[in-house]
Amino acid sequence: MTSTDGIIVNDFHIGALDSICPPEVKVCLTEENGKESQVFHRALEIQKEVYNKWICVTEACPPLDFLFINGDMTDGRNPKGKGEGLWTENLRAQSIVCVDLLEMLPMKKDVVIRISFSSAYHAGHNPSTDELIYQEFRARGYTNVKVDYDWPVQINDMKFHFNHKVGVAQNDVTSLEKEMMWAKVHQTEYGHIDGIIRAHCHIDSHIEKRGMYGWIVPGWKARDEYVKAGGLRYNPTIGCLILHVPENGSKDFKWNWMKWALKKPLSFEKII
C-alpha cells in the first residue's frame, strides 16, 4: 500500500541551554543597519544528548511528503528571566539554527511545510520567530510553506487538525479527550476529524476514541528551571510523531513515535 509520509515536530526551544543544539553553532548575521555580527556556541553535554536523538530521527525517517512544525521551535528572549538560561537571545539566529536542524530531514523536493504559530512568549512579535522560520525556508528555495494559527488539513482521505497549545492537566489524556469532545460537538460544522495533534506539554500522549486519533507530541528540551520548580511531576519526553497516510481509505493508516527519555534527568550529588 502506497502511503503519504510526514513528520510532526515541535518545541525545539532553540536558544535555551537545555534544548536541542548542533555540536557547534556559528551564525553570521547582517543587521538592518548593515552591521555584521556573529553568534557562536558550543553545545553542552545535555544539548549533545538531545541532538544525538535528532540524528536517530533523521536516519530512520522516510522521505517526507510533508513536514508539520507545530510551535515553540525557539525559546525566544526569556523576558521574565531577563535572558537567563539562553545561549543567544537573537531571534533570527535561533530561527536559522532551527531550519538548519530541520533541513537534516530527508525531505522530498516538493515537500509540503506547514507552521503553527507558537506561544507568544517564546516566538515574540512583528516578526515572530514562526514568521522568521517561514522566511528562512522560502529563502532556501522551499515553495510550499505556510504559517497560521491552526491547521485543518486533509491528507489523502484523512482529515487532521494541528494546533500548538493544549491544556496541561493532571492526566494529560484529559486534554485530548476535551478536544475530541469539542470535535464531536461541532461535527455538523467541522465535519469528521480523523486526528487531533497538539504540542506544548513536552510529554507524549496518545488516545483513540470516538472514531478519532489524538496525540500530544513531545518536544526537544530537557528539564528546565520551570519544570524543576514544579518538583517531580514532569519528566520531559524527547521525540516526534511520524504519520503514514494511505492513498485510499484510512483502514491501513499507520503511525509511530520516535521518542526517548533522557538517561539521567536527575543528577544526584553524593554529599556524604
Cell 496541561: give the residue. Answer: 168
- From 259, 217, 260, 251, select the one nearest 72 (Cα to Cα): 217
Instruction: Provide the pLDDT for residue 71.
Output: 93
Q: What is the structure's pLDDT at 199?
A: 93
Written as tens digits, the pLDDT of the chain (272 aa) is 688 999 999 999 999 999 999 999 999 887 777 788 899 999 999 999 999 999 999 999 999 999 999 999 999 888 777 778 899 999 999 999 999 999 999 999 999 999 999 988 888 887 899 999 999 999 999 999 999 999 999 999 999 999 998 866 545 667 888 999 999 999 999 999 999 999 988 889 999 988 899 999 999 999 877 777 778 877 889 999 999 999 887 778 999 999 998 877 777 888 99
Conformation bin of residue 59: beta by default, left when phi > 0, alpha when psi is -120 to 50: alpha
Look at the block and give the residue holding cell 523576558. Answer: 79
Asked if residue 269 belongs to a domain, the reply is: no
On whether residue 55 sits in a domain, the answer given is yes
Q: Quote the pLDDT of residue 74.
A: 96
Rg of the chain, C-alpha, whole Å: 19
- SS3 category, 145: strand
* Domain contains 156: yes
> CB under 8 Å to 76, separation ≥6 — which residues?
15, 89, 91, 94, 121, 122, 123, 124, 129
The closest of 95, 28, 104, 37 to 67, measured between CA atoms, is: 104
Number of domains in the chain: 1
Q: What is the pLDDT of residue 169?
A: 54
Q: Is residue 267, in this structure, part of any structural domain at all? A: no
In a domain, 39, yes or no: yes
The maximal CA–CA distance of the chain, rounded, in angstroms, is 65
* 228 falls within a domain: yes
CA distance 66 to 203: 23
Answer positive or negative: Cα dihedral of 187, 191, 192, 196: negative
Query: Is 40:169 a contact under the CB 8 Å cutoff?
Result: no
Domain holding 202: CATH number? Answer: 3.60.21.10
Decide if 271 is inside a domain. Answer: no
Range of the domain at 133: 3-261
Q: Say if 28 falls within a structural domain.
A: yes
